[in-house]
Structure 1
């Protein structure tokens, strides 16, 4: 598949330029993608931000040089983009668990971070149900926190946050503003994505025609085109929506004519029966038609 070939080309480009300054815009061009979309896809498929992957590859090669050559630590640090031995030592120890000088002296074991490669796997899973929606600008309100995709922390922290606002009454206060009954499901908003992997998450809903208390966060969402994906499951089951996210980036984007654009990603939840033990979920991702096919 052309998408996988282009993604692997970006990895080869990174490998060839580990000794020089690497610009994410240049990597994105190799992938025939926008900077924003490339970073979302790369992070989703690998679990690493682009900058984190580059840093780990450089530190792996630096460690190999330390144990196999007589080069000075300062020279190796400069070769891999570090302006001082102190900055190099701090980053090196964070990855390898040992300082450069100790590794060189003891000829210790290296914690290797190997070059990755992308492969397509056809598993015969069920079809991906989606639709394309045009939606005017709107505002939402709610409560949230900052999380990160590093080490899949968001998968743990978001359910914990949702449980917390159910228990402390915040979830019901939002429903009260909306005029909804207690226990009505709210939407989840992922926004303010950063290149270091952090983002903000908020539980809330579109603002009604009432005044909103200062205790709530307000988020403005511009007019966008959305790809909307559906899933069904039992409550509580976070794996359903996590699987939708996985398939969007590993299956749908590589084979679609769309790429992600800047804007919030939304998770909408609906009760599927009166018992409130089954639900329908939707993932809304802002997209545009690819200007250049992968």
Structure 2
């Protein structure tokens, strides 16, 4: 097992056991390395200590719960994150994100938040199955995000509020989509556009949130299922690049889009499931 696989095995185990007491001896056993060598290798490869990685994974989950699960009490979030008291949780959260949990809940600074996850984890290529499906047209309500991709969660919060306020496109029973119009790594912040959308069965009335009506086009789609963090969605999108040249199809006239089957404030990141759709058309 090379170093990348050792680090990936340990990071995956941590994600799967965020609610457990993570024993260093066990993690070193998973990596098949001594404590001294594993700590040195992990820090050298990732740019972050093992202890810091464990804590930031727990605080990342806590931050999603604070921002999007407003009915959950901060004290409950603190205990789930492994802290013995709300005070200890507040100190650690503020050191990491420069906001207290209560301030973050009221007005999260998503741009600064994103900057705290600049460590490196191995990318292990997976064999992914591409399926072809036929879809009928689907009416959606959408809100358009313009600007820095790091601030998409601000727009998502507005869309969630619209859903709650109007009762249209209820989050528990309606599909939820993300529609990027460009690659955030290749697009300047001022030109990045991303729609957040939900399934509806009627036109969207005029509203203060900026939510409008549109539709997802009918047609033949290539679909892959992505498991895990939304931060790695791009890696799964690249599967289409290898798959498409061998097919009798071209890319259709609509962006790739994401169907979110669950949400980061409800499940741990490794439990996230996202279907990625690529509209196809026959080669000429």
TM range (shorter): 0.3 to 0.5
Greater Cα radius of gyration, structure 1 or 2: 1
TM-score, length-normalised on structure 1?
0.38
Higher relative contact order (CA 8 A, sep 6+): 1
